[in-house]
A = this chain, B = another copy of it.
Amino acid sequence: MTLEYAILGLLSWKPFSGYDLKKIFSDSPIYYWSGNNNQIYRTLLSLYEDGLVSRTVEEQENLPAKKMYTLTQAGQQMLENWLRLAPELPQRKHAFLLQLGWADLLPAEELDHLLSLYEEEVTALAMITGAQKKLPFYPARTRREHVLWQAVHTNLDGYYQYEIQWVKNLRQQLAALDH
């Protein structure tokens, strides 16, 4: 499971509670899981049962108790093993491409409207992502670690720019078809 390693990675930085992780997942564009409760708490439990993380309960005044999770030796080892695994190829689920493929059924204005909506939405997403980039969702303990996380963010930003260029170009092509 990728989520498992995403959590181990974050805990290798510093201890977090389930709630902290949930916020990181929903607020950061890198951790694409939708701030999902169910999966996070279940995964934490299974990591705990497997001895990859330990936990302490922090009582708080006027607030519910927190369970803070810390990476164990075994968890650190698990993470390091994962880092050495052959990289997974990125998987895109791009329903809009399918939609486009059959969109010749639509009249020119409706088709362009669809494309303009797409352009707007990706542009908005790119801006949100750009803003979130500044939040401290990653460590920069060494110069190299900083470079790596910068590269991760560059990959995200650049991807949205790519999509925007692509759709602009397509709209021009289609406009040219109509004369």
Contact = CB atoms under 8 A, between A and B. Distances in A.
Interface of A: 2, 5-6, 9, 12, 30-32, 79-80, 82-106, 110, 114, 117-118, 121-122, 125, 138, 141-145, 147-149, 151-152, 154-156, 158-159, 162-163, 166, 170, 173-174, 177
B97 A152 contact: yes
A125 to B, nearest CB: 6
Copies of the polypeptide in the assembly: 2
19 contacts: A2-B95, A2-B98, A5-B95, A9-B102, A32-B91, A32-B94, A79-B102, A79-B105, A88-B95, A91-B92, A92-B92, A94-B155, A101-B149, A104-B142, A104-B144, A144-B177, A147-B170, A147-B173, A155-B163
A contact face: mostly helix, strand, loop, or mixed: helix
A76 B11 CA distance: 50
A134 to B, nearest CB: 16
A151 B163 contact: no
B166 A154 contact: yes
